[in-house]
Every structure is written in C-alpha cells, then in structure tokens.
Structure 1
C-alpha cells in the first residue's frame, strides 16, 4: 500500500502507536533495527536517524562518518506479536551518507536500480518465493537444541506433523502485516517446514522475505521453539533452500507463457542468462560454508542444468500453459541478502535477453545415479565457499553491476570465512557454532 508521510503520522496517532522500529539489512542480509518513540518519527522522516556503522562488519567498516536511516513510508506495518496498547510499527529504511548520497551497501537501493534498469528495457519482473526452515526444541533453560520439533516427512498431517499450528500462527501473523502466504506444508526433514508466497513486485518480494524470517523466529520463540534458516543444520538430513520464481511482464504479456508448448525466444534467452552467470553470482545466493554442505546433497542442485519437467534440476521452466509460468531457481538459500540476490538475478535475465543468449539443451533425466560419462559433460556449481569467492572475484559481470567497494568487502569477508572453515578439523562443529545460533 502507498502511504505519504502525512498519512503515516496520522495512522500512528490514531492507532495508539508508541514505538517505531527502523529496520534495515547489512550487506549480508542480517536484519538490524533501531527503535524510536513515535513522537520522533516526523523528525526522522525529515532529517534521518544517525547510527554508528563502524561497529558493524556488515557495513563495510565505515569509520570516517556516520550513516543515516530514512524510513520508507510505504513499508509501514504493525507488529502483531507486540502489545496492542502502546503498539509498535516497523519501517524498512534507506541508508544514506550525511551528504544525502545513498550508501553503496544499501540493498533496497541496489534492487530498485535493477528494477528501473529492467523497466527501461521494457520488462517488469514479478517474483514468488518458497522458503524452507527447521524448527527445534529448546532446553529447559531456553537454549536451542538440535532436537527436531517432530519427525514427520513431506506433506505429513497432524498429529505426526507438529508444525501445523506453528505454520498457521506464522501465516496469520503475516496476513495481519499484509503479506499473503499461498501454501504451507511439512517438508522432508524432521522439524522442517516450507511456506510459499504469492507473486509480488521484486522490492516487495525482498521486503517480505526479510519480514518472513523475522516473523518465523519471533513466532517460534513465542511458542517455546527455535527456528533456523541455516542451510544444513542436520548433516544427514535435507537442507533448507529458498526457491525463487521469476516471471516477467512485457506490457500486459508474461513472456514465459508458453507458445504451442514452447518458450518464447526472450524467455529462453533470459533462462540462458541465469545459467550463464549462475557460477559468478552463487556467492550472493549461497553466502556461507553451510550453503555448500547443502548443495549437491539430497536433491539440492549440483549442476548447471535446466528442464521443463524435472524438479531436481537447478532451473525448471514449465510449459504447462499457465499464465504464471516463470523461471524456478532452486539453488539459493536464506543466507543471502534478498535485495542483492533478486537484483543480480534481474541483471542476469536482462543480459540474456539483450544479447539473445542461446539456451542449452535441457537435462530431463535424474543426475542421481547417472553415469560418470554423462555427468562429466555437465558444468558444476561452486562446490565450496572458496570456489564461490573465486568465481565472484573473477566475474566481469559482478564488477560491472555492483559498486566496487561493496563487492571488494564481500569478497574479503567471505574469503576470510572460507579460510577459517578450511582450517577447522570439525566442519560440522564449525557450522553449528558459526551459523546455527544466528541464521
């Protein structure tokens, strides 16, 4: 919904709002917030709110100056799990320097630029997501354990599926924030759940992902449980991914709507655009060492491949005749900064369309059990954080589309993380300590 600053201030006054949470993500997608009393909101709209970015590694070690938060009035939302008297609202913010220029690491601005770039070429992307996460029990002293909330499997029903009421609570909370889940289910792993979302514009889809993660963790905590988006919390069980579906409008037409059972040339070229750049951008889609424990295991994608029908490939592009057909990308996980992830995917699609990239042949067979000779012909995704860092560093595409100091900082931090991971003998312990309690 569109709001003016005046309408927001009126809403705050009329709805007994006492506190405002100014939310923003660091360059790695970690959610941060600062709270203000509602009487200060008008001043913050005009002047911004200063914070010390030097204390946060995710703000590129900015030390010469403070940064400022400017709330986006269109992102107004009540937090339903907070008290109904003295209510709390949140806004997502644009991060700027004191001179008014946008901070290079502001993901929302990066995504806005990608959206504008696509529109200038005549394209408008709509994005849907499917998000997987695990739920674990807490100990008596409220610490997270690795005891799954249940031992149900894919699409099992209650009472085996103990997550049914939790997912219901999550979905109802999201709806109160004008975020509309499409479906929910138990996934393959014990205590693993999935919630799918309706299509929306790219910026809203990214905002919704950030909100979703916050809601899941808050609702789970309220129920005495611990939710994690760690890609591989249980080494011998399925990992948790973030499946991204992109469909693209050109005027009033979805270019991925099949024509006589075939993709249009533009749709094929956009698909090729993602395949051609997927190794370059994997670091932005899968940003932790745990991400690569997931990829290539238990049906998570390993190869740079696509298919119309085979669900196990990296990309699936259905030709079922539905108007909402699109590209379904299965490799990302929720360690990504969704603003950079969706933005760079849009740039890859547009590059493919503009250059008329040729789409390779589909892989319509299961790679599980395929012969070495067959598999040797398929290109692989990066198999480690090390490989992903190198591919990103060598990528002309990323250097073209991302601010150089932003990309350099991401590469430096992730190279150090990969080095630390490689030097650790107990990889499972490293992943648990580094990621389980934070993601």
Structure 2
C-alpha cells in the first residue's frame, strides 16, 4: 500500500513523478452523494493557496442561489491516483473541505460536521475515535433490474461466486488508494458481497467509505455489471448492512477496556454504548436514511431492530465482540443497524455525539440480552423495556425532528434542510400506488 502524502509539496512531487494531468476535487452533499469537479494539474498551486470556487446552488442541501458561492479547499493527505483511469496523463483525487467566500467552514459540509464531533471527543480527552464499518453490496447484471449473477451464499466460492474476480480487482484498487483491506467474501444473499476495510480514525474512514463505494461501482461497471448499496433490493433476501465497529482511545490506550470488569468493558465503554442505545431511535433517519432502509430493518433478516446490547446475540442492536487475552486494544462495540447507503460523515458524527453524551451524563448500561430477541413476544419485550427502531422513514424523521442531539450534531442549517428533504422523500413515497397494492386489492375491492 503506498505511503500517503502529508503536505502539498508531497502532492506536487507525486503529480510530477506520475505525470498526473487532472485532479478531481471530491466532496459530498447532505445525503452522502459524491460530488466532484476536475482541475488541470497546473492549477494545483492556486487550489492549495486559496481553494477553488464553485457554485453550490445545485448541490443538495447547500445554500440557495443568492448565496451559493463556495470554496473547495483540497486536503493534501487524501491525495490518491485513481487506478481505474488511464496511466498516461492520469487522474488523481483529493477530498475537500467546503468553505464560504469568507474562508470559514461551510455549515452545510458533512465533513465539517464530523470534524466538529471529533473536536468534542478531543476536548473530552480522547485523541482518537476509531471506526470500522463493514459495507455490503449487491452485484446485478445491469442497472435496469435485479437479475443476480450467482446463487451463492455466505463464504461460497468458485462457481457459486461469480463476483470473486471483480472483488479481487476491487480489493487491489482499494489498496492502491491507500485503504487497507482485511477480508473479502461472498455474503449471505445471492450476488451479495463484502470487502472489509481495516479500521481507521473517523474522518479518514468516512473518506474511505466514499472511496469504497465509487471503487466498487467502477469495477463492477468494468465487467458490464451494476453494483448497488441499496439497503434492500431483493424481496425475501437479506438486505445490505454496514455493521459499524467503534472505539475511543486515550493516551494511546483503548478507553473501552477494563481487565477487572466481567464484560471487560470500562465505565467509559459502557456509558458510550448506553448513549448509543438511548439515542438510537432519534438517530435512525441518519444511519438508515432512505425509504428503502426500513424494508431491511425488519425482524428475521439479520438486521437488528430491538434496542438492546449483547456479547454473542446478533439480534441485538449492539454487540460487544468477546475479549481475547492480549487483544485489549481491539475492545469495541459493534452497531448493527446502519446501512451502506447512509452519509458516513453524518452517521459517524451522530454516533460519536450519542456516545459522548452517554459518557458526559453518566448513562447506565442495562444488562445484556443474550436471548434471541426475535423469539420474544411483544409483551415480553415491553416487560423488559426493550424498544424498537422506527418502522418507516416517516416515523424516523419525526423522531429526528424532535432531537436536540441531532440538532447539535448537524447544526441548524443542515438540520432544517435534512428534515425538509427527508419529509419530502417520505411524502413522495407515501402517495405512490405500488404493484403489490394493485395485485392485492384491484381484483377484490
């Protein structure tokens, strides 16, 4: 894996050495869609000096046309050469921080939202918030439908896994882009895949998630296929999740670990998990942000919907992987409800704020639920005080609209725009007449 550049001089040297002709400046809109414009490599000095101006009025969630001037300030540490572009007169990319013409961070920039959350953790004495998400996706024959390429299942290989070659190429490309790959395999659903990136600090990992999604799509397209991170594209099959592992570090040590605790969890770790559980319902529209996300979050398809934690039980929202002696630094929590179509910057920011809230306010962690929560009756769950995630985007967004935590996470500008956009999405969906309704009701009513 190549060494990552650290300064603008490093970037300029690499551009000269590899004869890079174009540099794409990447950033995301409020929904986590990757946006980009390209500059000639000769403009690099100007870009580093004062940023590159662009019109933000057509970017979802950005300012209206009368105050739409934006500046993209490239982050030299994110420079990478794009492996799917020609080597001759090649193309590289850098992520950007979006600024106003006054050179202040733009409040509608998701990267800025995550930086603010990390600043809060730093102010509380934590130097690193590590995140390790597992993004699943499907490969389909083309973008016009959901025809699968194989009937393989979990960890299947050879003839049952039509995507093994493209998965290998994708993994190698990610390594070239400075992303360490730990695992790759066929997932549970037909034509479903997963490539696991090694954990990193939250900002790098959010950038890596954006890079991962476009890399997966580019290499699928090379084979004439279509890759999708849609949470639930196939009826009666598992959806695609983004199980998200998290830990905090203080003074170089894992702040979640306590050798004397029966669960090997420190008070900090317990309070962090308690914060995520307490705020899970109001954060749901951030980590599961699409109408389709709630087709995945139903009992029976591996996606957890019950707000509880466990050590072994994968039906709980939060799992704490078992401690192995000598692996103290690996102590972490795993949140199993996010999906890979979320905006990773906003998701990691919201989850971090929820955990820090638990630490600041001393939230108590309830006892773990080691039984299969899907097998409990509604009465049993009520008696145990186990809540459920929202069942629709409509329900989720109204919970978010009342959330002080999300307001503080996003800031007023982005909060209001996000609520507005998601309410409109739900309204657009709610008035549709689906084929299911026609098939079920038209003959008999």
1:103-122 matches, within 5 Å, as: 103-122=106-125
Residue 350 of structure 1 is matched in structure 2 by 356
Unaligned runs of 5+ in 2: 438-445
Residue matched to 2:146: 146
How far residue 205 of structure 1 moved from its aligned partner, in angstroms, is 0.7
Decide whether aligned partners of structure 1 residues 179 and 111 sit closer, same or farther in structure 2, where only a CA change above 3 A counts: same
Partners of 1:235 and 1:428 within 8 A in 2:
no
Partner residue, 1:220: 220
**RMSD of Structure 2 on Structure 1 (CA):** 1.6
For 2:258 and 2:141, the matched residues in 1 are separated by 46
1:160 shift after superposition: 0.9
1:419 to 413, 423, 427: 427
Match of 1:310 among 309, 313, 316: 313
Secondary structure in structure 2 of the residue aligned to 1:183: strand
Residues 202 and 128 of structure 1: CA distance in aligned 2, closer, same or farther (over 3 Å): same
In 2, the alpha carbon distance for the partners of 1:272 and 1:407 equals 24
User: Aligned to 2:74, which of 68, 71, 76?
Assistant: 71
Structure 1 pair 243–61 and aligned structure 2 pair: CA distance change class (3 A) = farther
Contact 2:113 2:409 in 1 (8 A): no
Deviation at residue 54 of structure 1 after TM alignment: 1.3
Q: Does 1:87 align with 2:93?
A: no
Secondary structure of 1:350's aligned partner: helix
Matched, 1:378 2:386: yes
Report if the CA contact (8 A) 1:258-1:320 is conserved: no
C-alpha distance in 2 between matches for 1:287 and 1:273: 20
Please show how residues 10-25 of structure 1 align to structure 2 within 5 Å. 10-25=13-28
Q: Counterparts of 2:378 and 2:93 in 1: how far apart (Å)?
A: 52
Residues 258, 319 of structure 1: 8 Å contact kept? no
Contact 2:302 2:314 in 1 (8 A): no
Question: Matches of 1:23 and 1:173 in 2, distance apart?
Answer: 18
Q: Could you tell me which residue of structure 2 aligns to residue 436 of structure 1?
A: none
Deviations 1:223-256 (A, max 9, x none): 1110000000012211001111001112122122
Partner of 1:125: 129
What is the alpha-carbon distance in structure 2 between the residues aligned to residue 49 and residue 428 of structure 1?
A: 49
Aligned to 2:403: 395
Deviations 1:327-379 (A, max 9, x none): 10011112211111111111111111111110112111112232232133420
Contact 2:346 2:410 survives alignment (8 Å): no
| Post-superposition CA distance 1:389-412 (Å, at most 9, x none) | 111111111223321111000000
Q: Secondary structure at the match of 1:154?
A: coil
- Residue number in structure 1 paired with 2:373: 367
For residues 212-291 of structure 1, the aligned pairs below 5 Å read 212-260=212-260, 261-262=262-263, 263-291=265-293
Q: CA offset at residue 428 of structure 1?
A: 7.7
Which has the higher mean CA deviation after the structures are superposed, 367-376 or 74-83?
A: 367-376
Q: Is the 8 A contact 2:353 2:405 kept in 1?
A: no
Q: Which residue of 1 aligns with 2:442?
A: none
Shift of the 348–166 alpha-carbon distance from structure 1 to 2, 3 Å rule, reads same
Counterpart position of 2:340: 334
- Choose from 30, 33, 37 the match for 1:30: 33
TM-score by length of 2: 0.92
**Aligned equivalents of 1:388, 1:61: Cα separation in 2:** 26
User: Stretches of 4+ moved more than 6 A in 1?
Assistant: none
Unaligned runs of 5+ in 1: 430-439
> What is the alpha-carbon distance in structure 2 between the residues aligned to residue 62 and residue 334 of structure 1?
31
1:8 to 2, 11, 31: 11
Paired residues, number:
425
Q: 1:399·1:407 contact (CA, 8 Å) conserved in 2?
A: yes
